Structure 1
Amino acid sequence: INQCVCLQPACKQQGMPLSAITPRSQIDLSLRSAPPNLPHGVQMLDLSRNQVQNLTQETLAYHTGFHHLNLRSNKIHFIQPGLFKDMTDLRVLDLSRNHLNVFALSKINIGPLTAVESLDLSSNGLYTGIGSWSLKKISLHNNVILEIEDGAFDSLHNLTELDLSKNSITCITDFNLYNLKVLNLSKNSMELFQSVGSAQSYQLLSLDLSENKMPYFPFLPRQNVLEYLDVSRNHLRSINVSASSERRTFLNHLRYLDMSYNQLKSIPESFFCFMGSLEVLNVSNNCIGSFSITNEGLLPKVKIINLSYNSLQSLTFNENILQSLEKLFLQGNDLTTLDHQVFQRLPSIRYLQLQQNNLKICASEQKQQEAALTDQNHQHPPGCVSFSSVHSLRFLYLSENNLQTLPANAFANTSLKLLDLSLNPGLDMDKDSLSGLEHSLVHLLLRENNISRLNTDLSLLKSLKNVDLSTNQLTSLPMWDKESSIESLNLQNNNLVTVEYSTMLALERSLKTLYMGSNPLNCCTNLGFLHVVQRSKKESNWREITGVSGEFRDQ
């Protein structure tokens, strides 16, 4: 019988058989050892969050048949030498959050750990001597390790996961753990990571070097299958791509690369030459002034590029480049100028974040052609960017762009589901600015634009369900002469005195949530509106109505 012993009152109160219990201790019982009457055949013992100080045979009630032993969060500072040598079935040993730094100073091994595959020694202090050839996973997270001694892990041929995060390691100059698959060195003081110069293949799949002090991109094994690399929050200032072909690192298997929160000013295109499998590139929060992908064949599989919060002045994508790109993050760059058809060159783009820039929007190409027939000197406004005929685009965020105008047919032949134009004070929307979105637009955000009158007929947008017009200067709503599909309407913080009865009748069928707070509504001129609200509340058609009851003003 597979038995798990839970030494917590919460488990005992449930009255479950020992064989069915998976203990998750949250209560300190202040135990200093396991009870002497442990049932025969116990395979899992959880003594975590207690007061064990000395780990001996007596502490474990002389049992040796454990498969899983959890001693996390005690005060262990002594381990009886050879304690685990007869535990030939022990696979998982958790000694994290103890005081093993005291024990480690004695230079005594805790082993041999003849069968242990997963060993957690995190949050202890200095540790030396592992002594288990069978180990597959070791956690030394949150200790005070300053360096890795030569050969410390060489005998652990089965080791595949090693967590050395949150220590004080300053450099790795001869990384040679060929069989390791996951290595976490985040939150150290690393200034250099360099693998040994070897033609032997490495099995490393994931390398986390985030939150260190590295000024240079890591020197990775030439023969690698690395898929995940995180070097975010370091001191990277430049990318060196001038190495000879013999020393170049090929990252053909890399799928995720994070270089955010560094000090990079540029990234040469040639850096991506050997990253044919890359799917996610994050270089946000740097100092990048320009970014271009112009060579055909670069980043053919990339789906997400995050360039947000840089200092971009130019962005260049050539035709037939980035065919798989779906999400592009460009917010917080103060961009003023873009090639007006830059987004038409991205055939798979679905998601564009452009908030916190200074962009202008071009009219549709059809409108431009019509204008050109009457005025041969007519051109796009300088620096404007076009969003018409971006056929795959579904989500577009343009808040905080200092937009002054939104021209007619700005999104023609673009099936947007979400459009955010918020925080563009003084935005003047042409009455046909949303033309072309009649059957696709679901979410429209126009908050904090100082709009006093809405020129656009929202009733034409047949799929529209969520509208945010909060914090504007609206004194009235546009007339709805057709039934609406809107389910959520936010009109808070406006200057609405009257809401037309006919408008509310048109909205009533679909509306489920209405926000009306902080408006100077006059109850005497809104009796029809009040009747609609009361009827909808009574019939439970509306899930939520806020800011209506008790906020009308008698005038």
Structure 2
Amino acid sequence: MYRSRCSVTLTLLLALWVRAKDLTDIEALASTPTRCHYMYAYDMYGAHCAGLRLSKIPSLRGGIEILDFSDNRLQEIQSDTLSSYTSIKLLYLSENQIYSIDKDAFAYLTNLETLDLSKNVILELPESIFQMRSLRILYLGGNPLLHLKLDNLDIKKPIKAPLEILDLSDCKLKSLPDFGILPQMSFYNISYNPLTSLDARTFSSMCKLSNVDLTESIDKISLCDLKMTISWFREQPVHFQLKDYSRLNSREFEACPEPEIPQSLNISYHQCRSAYTEIQKVKTYRRTWFTIAGGLAGFLIGFVLLLYIMHRHNVAQTKKLKKTPPKSTSGDTNATAILLNDLS
């Protein structure tokens, strides 16, 4: 789940260690970072500002694609907080004190693919986050007050964000929010929430779902109420993670009536499949046109280059002809004079 996030962090920390490897132990202890450092990770230019206890994002270099601002004291993300860094693709803001996020806080980050807002105290979660056209990974876990907002959050559907990974772990959720159809979702982390229900319709709209983390989230739900969703998981199949599977392996669970999958689940599932197929068609269409455009561009470049070479060749030939002196006619004149003398 956190592999990409941890890998980036480890890469940045390794770069810092390499810079300090020639220091003595005492010097290393005294060299705690006091400002952001810049380095490359995954062929992207990044700024590492984690653990500096900063209350606001400082002025950074332009062109950064990764910003790690975790473990700081940021409290608000206003509309202009990140407006100068439009090239950011990976943004890590975990373990801050964020409670407020403006509606347009991420409007300028049109390339944002990963957003980590975990372990904050978010009270206001803007609906616009779910409309970001490049956002694939969203971490919201560890926000204990987030459920107060999600319960009443009116999410515009369909969601435009192509979410593949969504983390809502440890957010005190009693029921799951309705995100509508999420055709590219593959991993859903809803662990450590006191859920009182687990509606199968939530998951039937995620037709590419392969993993769900339910660790310590379904203990308060009666076994027979879980039967429908567990049956759906097994039919798809979707791997679900629990700390203890004994309840689902019990005789009590087996004794629950076998549910009949309602038509509504199949309808939402097929709607999701149709949406996913359309997305794949668009991707294929774009790849085809990129290939055709690339081929045409290559042909035109080659043709122009050929014309240029021919032009240079013609210019060189013209210059050569101009430099070549004309053949002498003195020999022919003398021969004519001798012939006339003989005739006379």
> Which has the greater radius of gyration?
2
Of 225, 240, 246, the match for 1:338? 225
Distance 1:252 1:218, change over 3 A: same
In the alignment, residue 196 of structure 1 is paired with which amino acid?
Answer: D
Assess, with a 3 A threshold, how the Cα gap between structure 1 residues 190 and 117 changes in structure 2: closer, same or farther. closer
Change over 3 Å in CA distance of 1:339–1:308 after alignment to 2: closer
Question: How do 1:528-543 residues align onto structure 2 when only pairs under 5 Å count?
Answer: none
CA drift at 1:251: 4.5
- Residues 176-211 of structure 1: CA distance to partner in whole angstroms, max 9, x if unpaired? 333100111111111123352787661111111111
1:228 alignment partner in structure 2: 137
Number of the residue aligned with 2:340:
none
Q: Deviations over 1:366-396 (max 9, x none)?
A: xxxxxxxxxxxxxxx5x3569xxxxxxxxxx
User: Structure 1: how far apart are the matches of 2:134 and 2:56?
Assistant: 26
* 1:301 CA drift (Å): 1.1
Instruction: State how far apart, in whole Å, the 1-side matches of 2:230 and 2:16 are.
Output: 54
- Matched AA of 1:305: V
Contact in 2 for aligned 1:141/1:163 (Cα 8 Å): yes
* Counterpart in the other structure of 2:120: 212
Residue of structure 1 equivalent to 2:210: 303
Gap regions ≥5 residues in structure 2: 1-13, 260-344
**Residue 73 of structure 1 aligns to which amino acid in structure 2?**
A
CA distance in structure 2 between the aligned counterparts of 1:25 and 1:342, rounded to whole angstroms: 47
Shift of 1:119: 7.8
> What does 1:426-441 correspond to in 2, within 5 Å?
none
Instruction: State whether residues 223 and 253 of structure 2, in contact with CA within 8 Å, keep that contact through their aligned partners in structure 1.
Output: no
2:69 aligns with 164
User: Secondary structure of 1:291's partner?
Assistant: coil
TM-score (norm. length: structure 1): 0.36
Partner of 2:147: 237
Residues 361 and 211 (structure 1 numbering): CA distance in 2 closer, same or farther, change over 3 Å? Answer: same
Amino acid at match of 1:208: D
Q: Provide the rounded CA distance (Å) in 2 between the counterparts of 1:24 and 1:139.
A: 10
Does residue 360 of the first structure (1) align with residue 251 of the second (2)?
Answer: yes
Partner of 1:207, secondary structure, is strand
SS of the residue corresponding to residue 355 of structure 1 reads coil
Q: Deviations over 1:221-251 (max 9, x none)?
A: 4333111111111122241565474xx7935
Q: SS of 2:224's equivalent?
A: coil
Q: Structure 2: how far apart are the matches of 1:234 and 1:143? A: 21
Shift of 1:171: 1.5
230, 235, 255: which one aligns with 1:347 = 235
Q: Say whether residues 1:293 and 2:200 are aligned partners.
A: yes
**Residues 77 and 102 of structure 2 are in contact (CA less than 8 Å); yes or no, is this contact kept in structure 1?**
yes
Q: What SS is found at the alignment partner of 1:136?
A: strand
Distance 1:264 1:169 in 2: 24
1:48-447 residue pairs with structure 2 within 5 A?
Answer: 48=21, 50-51=23-24, 73=28, 75=30, 97-98=32-33, 100=34, 118=39, 136-148=45-57, 152-153=59-60, 156=62, 158-174=63-79, 175-176=82-83, 177-194=85-102, 196=104, 202-221=110-129, 222-235=131-144, 236-238=146-148, 239-240=150-151, 242-243=153-154, 245=156, 250-268=159-177, 271-294=178-201, 298-310=205-217, 312=218, 332-333=219-220, 335-338=222-225, 343-345=230-232, 346-349=234-237, 351=239, 353=242, 355=245, 357=247, 360-361=251-252, 381=255, 383=256
- Whole-Å separation in 1 of the counterparts to 2:187 and 2:47: 28
Instruction: Give the drift of 1:265.
Output: 1.6
Per-residue deviation at 1:279?
0.7
The change in CA–CA distance for 1:334 and 1:147 in structure 2 (over 3 A counts) is same
Give yes or no for contact 2:138–2:167 (8 Å, CA) kept in 1. Answer: yes
Q: For 2:28, what is the secondary structure of its paired residue?
A: coil
Equivalent AA in structure 2 for residue 172 of structure 1: I
Distance change >3 Å, CA 264–CA 350, structure 1 → 2: closer
Name the CA shift for 1:207/1:350 in 2 (closer, same or farther; >3 Å).
Answer: closer
Q: Secondary structure of 1:196's partner?
A: coil
Change (3 A) 1:117 1:140: closer
Q: 1:249–1:142: structure 2 CA closer, same or farther, 3 Å change rule?
A: farther
Describe the superposition over 1:5-31 as per-residue Cα deviations: whole angstroms up to 9, x where unpaired.
Answer: xxxxxxxxxxxxxxxxxx9999xxxxx
Q: Which amino acid aligns with 1:50?
A: L
1:334 Cα deviation (Å)? 5.7
Greater helix content:
2
Alpha carbons of 1:218 and 1:261: their partners in 2 closer, same or farther (altered >3 Å)? farther
Give the letter for the 2:28 counterpart.
S
Q: Percent identity?
A: 16
For 1:311-354, what per-residue CA distance to the aligned partner results, in whole angstroms no more than 9, with x for missing partners? x4xxxxxxxxxxxxxxxxxxx44633236565444423264546
CA contact (8 A) 1:334 1:356 kept: no
| Deviation of the 1:285 alpha carbon | 0.9
Q: How far apart are the structure 2 equivalents of 1:199 and 1:24?
A: 31
Secondary structure of the equivalent of 1:338? Answer: helix
Q: Aligned pair in 2 of structure 1 residues 334, 160: CA closer, same or farther (>3 Å)? A: same
Contact 1:51–1:75 (Cα < 8 Å) also in 2: no
TM value normalised by structure 2:
0.55
Residue 10 (structure 2) aligns with: none
Q: Secondary structure at the match of 2:101?
A: strand
Cα drift, residue 167 of structure 1: 0.8
How big is the alpha-carbon RMSD for the aligned residues of Structure 1 and Structure 2?
4.1
- Cα distance change on mapping 1:252 and 1:301 into 2, 3 Å: farther
Number of residue equivalences: 234
Cα offset, 1:262, TM superposition: 1.4
Letter in 2 for 1:257: L
User: What's the secondary structure of 1:294's corresponding residue?
Assistant: helix
Cα distance between partner residues in 2 of 1:167 and 1:141: 7
Structure 2 Cα separation of the partners of residues 288 and 187 of structure 1: 24
**Structure 1 CA distance for aligned equivalents of residues 229 and 25 of structure 2:** 64
